[in-house]
Structure 1
Amino acid sequence: MKRISFRIYMIIAVVVLAVAVGALYFFNANRVTPTTTKKSSGVQITQSTPGEYQTVIKNGRYLVSAARGITASSEPNSLDVKNFESSLLDLAKNHFKPSRYIFQEGQYLGSSLVTDLLGRKSSSDTIGLNPEDNGKTDSSRNPIYVQTLTEQDFMVKDGDNLKLSGMIIGVAMNTQDEYQKEQYGATYTQNISEADRVAYGKKVAAQILKQVREQKGVSDDTPIVIAMYANSQADSLAPGSFYAQTTSDKGTTIEKWSDIDDQSIVLPKEATDTSKLGSDANTGFANFKNDVANFFPNIAGATAVADFKNGTLSSMTVNVTTQFYSQTEIESFTTYISQSALKYLPSNVPIKIIVQTANEMQAILIRKSGEKTFTTTLLD
């Protein structure tokens, strides 16, 4: 009996060991690890995802921008902070295909250089992109045209290293400039016409290109794309958009510009807005809003931002503000919203619906383009 028991124990031990070894092999075989490009300096790149860029990791951490935080702290409308950089990355895919290039946060324009570029030109800031202060405090003052700029780099493998193979510079231009006549005084708004904004943007683009070419590591024949972005007004519910771009394959001369037809509008549209852009989306959203309001009496409001590319709807973000008193109300409401959205909102574009109270977010509903249902996340 003892000999039989010993054999049983041995068999069990062998089986457990085999399972453990197999599990360890399976884990190692399926573990996602960065692809090393330069072990000596600790530079790595992430695994690729179809349609998206691989990104750069250095010493185990994501490689952040050399001018990190300037855009977030300078944009007057928080909606422009995210839209400016994410839309620039989408635009870059038309010039630098993700299947060939590796994305790297801007490393050649440092924070001090960018700060100087965004300043007014003066004896102490000779490279300032904005005009000198003419001392005026009325509509004849020289406004701040250039609000912020950001750099994105695109790399290719060069042996064990990464080599700069392209850049895109996003330049955010103001549509209005807020200023004070005296320190701590009232805030005034100076509108900037489209014609003045576009003309001034083309003027400073050549100066920006010159500064980028002068940076160490940027060669005279590095392809550089400059894209111009029109900021939204500070109180707008929709972000701004890119409106023009140019490409410099060599040197500092800009030969031609091409228009970018991107636009975001707020739904429901104002009665005075007679443009055809978004008419169908506006009708569908109005039906959705009425349907949801009839179902839940405590709805405080609903708005949407519809994004268009070349006149065609590309995505929609809906915000529904209401007041809940129980978890079951939240669950019932979000279930009904998903059903109503499938009925009234466009079916062929990505849609995000945010349900919130005045103080906090309650739920997020997301449906990707072509999907038949929403994925709902309830937040504690």
Structure 2
Amino acid sequence: MSKWLGLPLLVILMTACSPTFDSEEEVVQETDEEEQTEEDQQMIVSPDRLDTNDYRMVLPYQPSAARGTITNQISNRYDIDEFEQGLTRLSKDPFSPDDYLFQEGQYLNEDTVFSWINDFNPDRPEDLEDDLEDAEAEDEVEALEDELETYKEENPRVVSHILEQNYLTRAEENRVELAGVSIGIALKSDYQFSVNYGPTNNVAIDKSEMLQIGKETAGQILERVREMEELQDVPIMIALYRENSPNASVPGSFVTKTVVEPNDMTVNEWQSLDEKTVLFPSNEAEDNYYEDSEMFTGFSQDVSDYFPNYIGVIGRGFYKDGELQELSINVPVEFHGKQEVIGFTQHASSLMAEHFPSYFDLEVTVESASRQEAVLFRDAGGEEITHHIYHD
């Protein structure tokens, strides 16, 4: 068994005895590494959070045991961000930030993740690929290419990635220990492949087929993680994520989740999720979110009226249960001096207040060709728009 799989997630508080994390606390993490000095083990739980809805963390930050694997498995940058951040967002329901600390997954290491992904996908036709590599006659090559293409079309690899997150809480005798685990399973909506360095083929994965495969995979993952002693008696949230196509300008979304109680070996019930990220401007936004599309268009037009070097405005709206929760807008502009940046930022602030109601989070980034120049944001329910202009 890999040393990562046996890593205890236990830290002992050395100072405060309060039941909440309301002051900076020095902690020590116990490990099986005898050569590790106590100085190396010293850690801090900080009470500070960027937002009251964020998780506190144990510092120094401990990277995931499978660090970096996600970039090999998911090709769309927007999907990577939403898959990671969305799993944390969903985890706030069973594991409240008021009561839990966040730690990246420490039990599923790189070898385990890659091995399980291969286990949960159809076998690769290695014999057929070897025959194709050895083939010399043109007709034999064409026949094997056709056979290999048919195999891959009929056996798409749907499971892309497995992401683990850990949640810690205070136990008795001033201990902090593992109290919950979230596991995200990323699933393809499109399977892309090529045969013998030929053109890329695309197989669309029906959502119902994807859900069936995802739920079967979740059951197998649950059985395997329950075999790990440290993960037997903690609740586990599992969420299924449907990726967007690799070249899409917005991410996919989580489509269903479940919470499995401590020691349970099977999933009893799934909860459907209604989440979606929409691109502005787009036909989808105009057809399905007309009022939001109109307010975005009004903002964009006023930007273009103000600034002669305007290039275009792109927005991404995150919807939950059909309601807009977050709107992120990028404004690329060609600037010729810092005063132009300052003047444009001031104008953008007034346009944000004019065009967008305050019931959703709003962020506007202003970029030149070489870098980000300014950022403006407003939290849902607030009136004040905060801004920052970057200086050389």
Q: Note if contact 1:74-1:147 (Cα within 8 Å) is conserved in structure 2.
A: yes
Q: Note if contact 2:24-2:47 (Cα within 8 Å) is conserved in structure 1.
A: yes
**Which segment is superposed worse, 186-195 or 242-251?**
186-195
Matched with 2:168 is 155
- Following superposition, the deviation at residue 173 of structure 1 comes to 0.8
**Which segment is superposed worse, 264-273 or 82-91?**
264-273
SS in 1 for 2:246: coil
1:181 maps to 2:195: yes
Amino acid at match of 1:47: P
Relative contact order, CA 8 A, sep 6+: which one is greater? 2
- Following superposition, the deviation at residue 42 of structure 1 comes to 3.0
Matched with 1:53 is 55
Amino acid at match of 1:129: F
Q: Note if contact 2:240-2:256 (Cα within 8 Å) is conserved in structure 1.
A: yes
Matched with 1:242 is 254
In 2, the alpha carbon distance for the partners of 1:372 and 1:342 equals 8
Q: Deviations over 1:134-182 (max 9, x none)?
A: 5632573422211112111112223354322211101111111222212
1:130 maps to 2:121: yes
In 1, the alpha carbon distance for the partners of 2:157 and 2:104 equals 26
Matched with 2:306 is 295
- Following superposition, the deviation at residue 339 of structure 1 comes to 1.0
Q: Note if contact 2:329-2:363 (Cα within 8 Å) is conserved in structure 1.
A: yes
Q: Note if contact 2:26-2:45 (Cα within 8 Å) is conserved in structure 1.
A: yes
- Following superposition, the deviation at residue 271 of structure 1 comes to 6.9
- Following superposition, the deviation at residue 188 of structure 1 comes to 2.9
- Following superposition, the deviation at residue 272 of structure 1 comes to 9.0
User: Which of the two has higher C-alpha Rg?
Assistant: 1
Matched with 2:14 is none
Q: Note if contact 1:96-1:154 (Cα within 8 Å) is conserved in structure 2.
A: yes
- Following superposition, the deviation at residue 330 of structure 1 comes to 1.5
Aligned pairs, number: 335
In 2, the alpha carbon distance for the partners of 1:271 and 1:298 equals 28
Q: When the two structures are superposed, what TM-score results if normalisation uses the length of structure 1? A: 0.82
- Following superposition, the deviation at residue 268 of structure 1 comes to 1.6
1:68 maps to 2:80: no
SS in 2 for 1:211: helix
- Following superposition, the deviation at residue 224 of structure 1 comes to 0.9
Q: Unpaired segments of 5 or more residues in structure 1?
A: 1-31, 120-127
Q: When the two structures are superposed, what TM-score results if normalisation uses the length of structure 2? A: 0.79
Q: Note if contact 1:43-1:56 (Cα within 8 Å) is conserved in structure 2.
A: yes
1:34 maps to 2:52: no
Q: Note if contact 1:229-1:243 (Cα within 8 Å) is conserved in structure 2.
A: yes
Matched with 1:201 is 214
Q: What aligned pairs does 1:1-380 form with structure 2 within 5 A after superposition? A: 33-36=24-27, 41-47=41-47, 49=49, 50-57=52-59, 61-119=60-118, 128-133=119-124, 136-138=148-150, 140-158=153-171, 159-183=173-197, 185-219=198-232, 221-249=233-261, 250-270=263-283, 274-275=287-288, 278-379=289-390, 380=392
In 2, the alpha carbon distance for the partners of 1:316 and 1:274 equals 18
The Cα RMSD (Å) is 2.3
Q: Deviations over 1:275-310 (max 9, x none)?
A: 2xx322111001111111111122111110011111
Q: Note if contact 1:109-1:215 (Cα within 8 Å) is conserved in structure 2.
A: no
